[in-house]
Every structure is written in C-alpha cells, then in structure tokens.
Structure 1
Amino acid sequence: MPALPDYFKIANEIMSDVRSGRLKPGDKLPSIAELCELHRVSASTIRLVFVRLEALEVIDRHQGKGVFVTDPATWLRKP
C-alpha cells in the first residue's frame, strides 16, 4: 500500500488536533513559513494542506489576517 502524501498526513494531524481540543474554533493556525519549518516540507505542500482543510470546512482563510479553525460541529457531522 502506498504511503500517504505529506499534505494528507499534516491535514489529518491538524484535524486530529481540532477533534481532541488542542485546537479550538477561532484559533489561528501558524503561518505557512512556520508550518514549513515545523513539518520540514515546502510551502506548496502547506498550501495543499490548506486547500484540503478548507474543502473539508475545517478552516477558514482570510487574506491578510490568517487561517482560522472553524467549529468542528459543522464538519464532524458530515457523512
């Protein structure tokens, strides 16, 4: 079985942090540069993480302000 791509693993990690309460609704995620350093991946990988999480409604991106965690009650109920 092929390994999961880095962006998928990082997105799953962030989702797990939201589910466990380590990240709460309204929390601001670190910048792309900070996440690159933390996970030792490229900026394009982190952008893919954000695209995935935004599609799943886990985050909201606000240009010039940052990336914020949404209320998990909205996305945890979806099939």
Structure 2
Amino acid sequence: MPSMSDYLRISHEIMDDVRSGRLNPGDKLPSIAQLCEHYKVGASTIQQVYIRLEALEVIDRRQGKGVFVTDPATWMRKP
C-alpha cells in the first residue's frame, strides 16, 4: 500500500492537534523554516500544507503577521 504523502500526513497531524486541544483557536503556527526542521521536509511541502489547511479553513494566513489556527467549529464536522 502506498504511504501517505508528507504534506497530507503533516496536514492531518496539525488538524489532529487542533481537535485534541494541543493547538487552540488563535494560536500562531511556527514559521515555515521551523516546520521544515521539525518534520524534516522542504519548504515547498510546508507551503502545500498551508495551502491545504487554508482551503479547509483550518488556518488563517495573515500577510506580515503569520499563520493562525481558526475556530474548529468552522471546519470540523458535527457528529
């Protein structure tokens, strides 16, 4: 079975961190360079993560400010 691509794996990890409360609404995510070092991937992979999470409304990217976690109620499916 093929393994999950890095950007999907990292996206899922960040979403799980939000669901579990390890990341809260308004929390600022680390810089791209910090995430590259943490996950041992290139900057383009983290850019893909940010594009995906922004499309899913999990994060809000603010020019010159950073990347912030949104309220999970806006994107999590209700049971």
* TM-score tier after normalising by the smaller chain length: over 0.9
Give the equivalent residue in structure 1 for 2:13: 13
In the aligned structure 1, how far is the partner of 2:7 from the partner of 2:47? 8
Deviation at 1:2, TM superposition (A): 1.3
Deviation at 1:77, TM superposition (A): 2.7
In the aligned structure 1, how far is the partner of 2:13 from the partner of 2:60? 17
Give the equivalent residue in structure 2 for 1:43: 43
Letter in 1 for 2:22: R
The normalised TM-score by structure 1 is 0.96
Unaligned runs of 5+ in 1: none
CA RMSD of aligned residues (A): 0.9
Letter in 2 for 1:35: L
Deviation at 1:28, TM superposition (A): 0.1
The normalised TM-score by structure 2 is 0.96
Secondary structure at the aligned position of 2:75 is classed as helix
Number of matched pairs:
78
In the aligned structure 1, how far is the partner of 2:77 from the partner of 2:39? 29
Give the equivalent residue in structure 2 for 1:72: 72
Give the equivalent residue in structure 1 for 2:59: 59
In the aligned structure 2, how far is the partner of 1:70 from the partner of 1:77? 14
